[in-house]
A and B are shown apart, each in its own frame.
Chain A
Amino acid sequence: MNNYSRLKILIVEDDEDDYILLRELLIEAIGEVDTICWAEDFKSAQVKISNENFDFYFLDNRLGAELGLDLIAEIKQHYETAPPIIMLSGIDDYQTDLDAMEKGADDYLVKSELTPHLLERTFRYSLKSKGFEAKLAKLAHYDGLTGLYNRSLFNELLIKATQQSKRSGKQFALVTLDLDNFKFINDNYGHPAGDQLLTKIARRLKHVTRSSDIVARLGGDEFSLLLKDVKNDSDFVTLVENIMAIFQKPIQISSKSVAVSSSIGIAIYPTDTHIASELIDYSDRAMYQAKSNGRNSYSFYNQELHQKAIIKHQLELELYSAIENNKLLLYFQPIVSLINDEIVSYEALLRWPDGENGFHNTEEFIEVAEESHLILKIGDWVFQHACLKLESWHAQGITDRHISINASANQFNSDDFTELVKKYIQKVPYLANKLTIELTERKPLDITEKTINRLQVLSNLGFKFSVDDFGIGHSSISYLRAFPMNSIKIDKSIVQNIINSKEDLALCTAIIALGKALSLSVIAEGVETKEIANILKSLACPYAQGYLYSKPIPL
């Protein structure tokens, strides 16, 4: 059996003849290998080094104006233990030899002295010492029983995570997990069974977490996790409940099914503390809190945050179920022409019934939905139900009604929403001309080529777009220019103030003029009195919406 048949080798060499010679010598020395890859200059070597992993590197030192020596660091940064790196040189230069060793090369060979025998020996020795090095590194960083990180590497990764979060401003959780009945299992089934249990739990933990999360076994039956890049506190609850869920299924050890539970403590960076050692301490304390709460449970270090996160998580679950069970409603508020008071369109507004008569606060639950994937489900739901309403009007012979729906910027971060809309419109093409999509200025779309294209696709189908809550957000004229907008809705806080505030009156006048100049329709929102309507008429504002005309009603 050829020991080297699976090796991938990179040769960095700017002289093609030298490359061919080395290649032939290599094959003579160690037989066929999996791949011998050639990089003919410094640049292409950099590309190959960062895109691929090799098992062996040969670097010629002279690469035009660059030095092969400078590639060593680039190789090393991709590995915990870098594979062997052999420097090649045209001349036997002691200083280069020393430099190469200093930078971490494994051997230094002079081209004119290369023989198959020498190469074979270099391979054997460097692979052996590397294998040993890698084993040592593994022992130092990993827990052999479970294959997870060990305490020492976990502590390093924790410190790294605090530094990353400091830069990115993102929070992360340190989760401490302790099995509730491990001692009982060890005592009653024996230590090998206990070990088996730990390896299986380790795999379950690995599979329930995301690849960006870190899972470690600190010793005994104690595991620690870093849950990174979490947007909001209720997401922590979701992640931790996923972890709790792995204990619902019994675990087979020595042909018996055993039920295991765990107690989990959670501390959050930077909310609880920004010091790594304190974070460990806090999540430990939270874990003991969970144990004293009756085991098989979790606890946040910060109880107030715990309560808030749980309430929010509960609201998410209820909202999810409301969407799935079709418990949401659309109410409609007319948009009227200020010239003849005729209704030109209806804005569809989402309502979520709460108990017998009331509704949940729409702004509140939309905010919760915006922070999770639920807003996408809601977006789809609203679109489909607005379409169904238009179709039912159509069936009744009412063909002149339009609807505008509210969409979240998140719906345009992927192709999913636009694809759904396209599919629907293929079936019922006339709907496109009857729908306006309102995008709020509060949480604006990112102006990227992709989002512009997505809007353009819908615009080409006949959809119209409107900027909602205009005048109070951070977006600007560039927003109007980047996206295919058809109308502006002046935010009600401005409209309702035009009597009392000269500034708001001026702002309103300016927005109406802006609309005219850019050929955009202008709709004043929140019109509640005749007085305001009259001023708007005098400013030649074409459209209005508000309680003066009608509150949102079921249609």
Chain B
Amino acid sequence: MSESLTPITIHMCDDDPDDQLLVSDALEEARLGNPIDFTNNGKELLQYLNREGAFAHLIDQPLPGLILLDLNMPVMDGREVLNKIKQNEKFRSIPIIVLTTSKAEADIARTYEMGVNSFIIKPVSFDSLVEMVRSVSDYWFHLVSLPKK
């Protein structure tokens, strides 16, 4: 079942370069071959999804199969960009996992209402981050095995 599938691209939107390093290292450590790319805030994420501006060269590339989204970012934060993505026919079906350090319940409630697929509090230790990446990886495999529309 898995041999014909190419791994999905994972996109991470997070303004902290250290967190970007952590997640890409954890992917590598978990030996998942998925390519990963990054944007630094919600505005860039929209440009990336629309293949505009600095991302125009990606026009022929398939959209990411999964978005890891930070909530607290400058310029346009995670909540605002989530709203915009979920209102967009083209993007609303991309699964989104919110990664944040915030435990505030309001955040949780709001993000669930916005159709977030999962809500994960960024683990502090590298080991648990690798575990987290591994545990959602099965979920990604299900995603890629869905028939394409």
Which residues of chain A have a CB within 8 Å of any CB of chain B?
A: 1-2, 5-6, 32, 34, 142, 144-147, 192, 195-196, 199-200, 202-204, 206-207, 249, 251-252, 254-255
Contact = CB atoms under 8 A, between A and B. Distances in A.
A145 B1 contact: no
A200 B2 contact: no
A144 B142 CA distance: 29
Q: Which 3 A-B pairs have the closest CB atoms?
A: A147-B126, A200-B18, A144-B127
Interface of B: 1-3, 16-19, 21-22, 25, 29, 72, 101, 124-127, 130, 138, 141-142
A53 B136 CA distance: 24
Contact of A202 (B1, B126, B141): B126
Given A203-B18, A204-B18, A251-B18, A195 B124 contact: yes
Nearest to A34: B2
A251 B17 CA distance: 9
A199 B2 contact: no
Contacts of A32: 1-2
Contacts of A192: 124
Nearest to A142: B127
Contact of A1 (B17, B21, B130, B138): B138
Given A5-B2, A34-B3, A255-B101, A144 B125 contact: yes
Contact of A206 (B19, B25, B125, B141): B25
A1 B139 CA distance: 10
B21 A207 contact: yes
Contact of B16 (A6, A144, A146, A252): A252
16 contacts: A6-B2, A32-B2, A34-B2, A34-B3, A142-B127, A144-B125, A147-B29, A147-B130, A200-B18, A200-B19, A203-B21, A203-B25, A251-B18, A252-B16, A254-B101, A255-B101
Secondary structure at the B interface, as helix, strand, loop or mixed, is: helix
A199 B126 contact: yes
A34 B2 CA distance: 7
A145 B18 contact: no
B130 to A, nearest CB: 7
A147 B124 contact: no
B87 to A, nearest CB: 27
Given A5-B1, A203-B25, A252-B18, A145 B130 contact: no
A200 B123 CA distance: 12
Contact of A204 (B21, B126, B127): B21
B109 to A, nearest CB: 20
A142 B29 CA distance: 13
Contacts of A251: 18
Nearest to B125: A145
Given A200-B18, A204-B18, A252-B16, A146 B126 contact: yes
Contacts of B1: 2, 5, 32
A365 to B, nearest CB: 37
A433 B49 CA distance: 56
A199 B101 contact: no
A172 to B, nearest CB: 24
A169 B127 CA distance: 37
A145 B127 contact: yes
Given A195-B124, A199-B22, A200-B19, 17 more contacts: A1-B142, A5-B1, A5-B141, A32-B2, A34-B3, A144-B127, A145-B124, A146-B125, A146-B126, A147-B29, A199-B124, A200-B18, A200-B21, A203-B25, A204-B21, A252-B19, A255-B101
Contacts of A254: 101
Q: Which of B2, B16, B125, B138 has the most CB of A within 10 A?
A: B125
Contacts of B141: 5
A144 B130 CA distance: 10
A243 to B, nearest CB: 16
A142 B1 CA distance: 35
B106 to A, nearest CB: 16
A7 to B, nearest CB: 10
Contacts of A147: 25, 29, 126-127, 130
B16 to A, nearest CB: 5
A336 B75 CA distance: 71
A144 B123 CA distance: 12
B126 A255 contact: no
A204 B29 CA distance: 16
Contacts of A252: 16, 18-19
Contacts of A145: 124-127
Contacts of A204: 18, 21
A207 B18 CA distance: 11
A6 B141 CA distance: 10
Contacts of B125: 144-146, 195, 199
A204 B101 CA distance: 20
A2 B1 CA distance: 10
A27 to B, nearest CB: 12
B108 to A, nearest CB: 17
A195 B142 CA distance: 33
Contacts of B72: 255
Contacts of B21: 200, 203-204, 207
Contacts of A203: 18, 21-22, 25, 126
A142 to B, nearest CB: 8
Contacts of A144: 125-127
Contacts of A6: 2
A144 B19 CA distance: 17
A200 B124 CA distance: 9
Nearest to B139: A1
Contacts of A196: 124
Nearest to B20: A203
A133 to B, nearest CB: 17
A34 B16 CA distance: 36
Nearest to A5: B2
A137 to B, nearest CB: 13
Nearest to A257: B16
Contacts of A199: 22, 124-126
Contacts of B142: 1
Contacts of A195: 124-125
